[in-house]
Amino acid sequence: MLTAPPRLLLVHAHPDDESLCTGGTIARYAAAGVQVTLVTCTLGEEGEIIPASLARLAAGEADQLGGYRVGELRSACASLGVSDHRYLGGMGRWRDSGMAGVAANRHPRAFAFGDREPQVSALTEILREVRPQVVVTYGPDGGYGHPDHIRAHEITVAAVARVPEVTRLYYTVASSSAIADGIVGLADVDGIPWRLPVAGELPVVDDSSITTSVFIGDHLPAKLRALRAHATQVSVWQGQDGTHAYSLSNNIAQPVVEHEYYVLAGGASSDAVESDVFGGLAPVEHAGADR
């Protein structure tokens, strides 16, 4: 019997989510020889555009942002070492729904408000083909309440339940203490071009709920390159002391920290916080070459 490489599959709602939430994790495992599959559910057509020169791409203007973000995501995947990227149901099958309560929710292809079963079936098909041991997506609240993130959570949980080869399901989260420490560090640095967040403004979880802390310090350059690739959505800043931060269109500075954090939602784990999403998993054996 031959030993297959470990397989990690991530389900994200929009281009840039993979880099913001899990970019360091992707880069770390890809560099270690793990087969990394990224599933993106929409093209991010409703995103707010940062560069004024690209403002006419917006949904209410030329409605070309989704196509532009395809190129951004391609560059980000190259920076992170993603070996297999797919759009759920094919490129453009489902559309960015926008935040809750906006007109985009009523678009006939709106991801969060469409028929759930075809979405679950499309993801199940990918899982059965890829056979990942570990799957990553968002928690039940989608991280910060975006309808597309919540739908990505729902369909991932449903699809994983249909594929017994998936051994672990993780939710990506932000550590309250790591973010607080990072903000303190930013406050000591001059020249940050955005405002610092106030208490409770960033979506974080209490550290007691975190089951896995993945060190990404050696792969921060790859994550930062991927973040810069998403220039319509993300601005990245570097201080003279090497401190890094980023901002979305809300102009709130967020620190780039040296770990990415997860909550184990399915599969066995020890009581201690683990440092490896594959920790303790047996090698996967197969009779022939990988498909």
Tell me the C-alpha distance between 214 and 277, whole Å.
8
Task: Kindly tell me if the per-residue pLDDT of 34 is higher than 90.
Answer: yes
- Res. 2: pLDDT tops 80: no
Report which of residues 244 and 199 the model is more confident about. Answer: 244
Asked which of 93-97, 191-195, 283-287 is least confident by mean pLDDT, the reply is 283-287
Confidence of residue 268 (pLDDT cuts 50, 70, 90): low
What are 211-264's pLDDT values in tens digits?
A: 999 999 999 999 999 999 999 999 999 988 889 999 999 999 999 999 999 999
User: Which pair of tokens denotes residue 58?
Assistant: 């917006």
**CA–CA dist 178, 4 (Å, integer):** 35
Give pLDDT tens digits for 61-81.
999 999 999 999 999 999 999
**Assessment of whether the complete model's pTM goes beyond 0.75:** yes
* Tens-place pLDDT, residues 129-177: 999 999 999 999 999 999 999 999 999 999 999 999 999 999 999 999 9
Q: Residue 270: what pLDDT?
A: 57
C-beta atoms surrounding 187 within 10 Å: 10
Residue 245: name the closest of 199, 184, 163 by CA. 184
Average pLDDT of span 83-99:
97
Whole-number pLDDT of residue 291: 32
Identify the band that residue 4 occupies on the pLDDT scale cut at 50, 70 and 90: confident
CATH of domain 2-174+205-214+259-267: 3.40.50.10320
Neighbours of 167 (CB within 10 A): 18
In DSSP terms, 238 is beta-bridged to 244
pLDDT one-digit tens code per residue, 102-126 = 999 999 999 999 999 999 999 999 9
First and final CA of the chain: distance in angstroms? Answer: 15
Q: Where are the domains of the chain?
A: 2-174+205-214+259-267
DSSP state of 108: T
- For residue 260, what are its two tokens? 């990415």
Please report the pLDDT score of residue 271 as a whole number.
63
Does residue 287 carry a pLDDT above 70? Answer: no
pLDDT at 282: 63
Using the predicted structure, report yes or no on whether residue 209 has a pLDDT greater than 50. yes
Tell me how far apart the alpha carbons of residues 154 and 3 are, in angstroms, rounded to a whole number.
32
Taking only the tens place, the pLDDT of each residue in 123-136 is: 999 999 999 999 99
Alpha helices in 81-229 (DSSP H): 116-130, 147-160, 176-187, 220-229
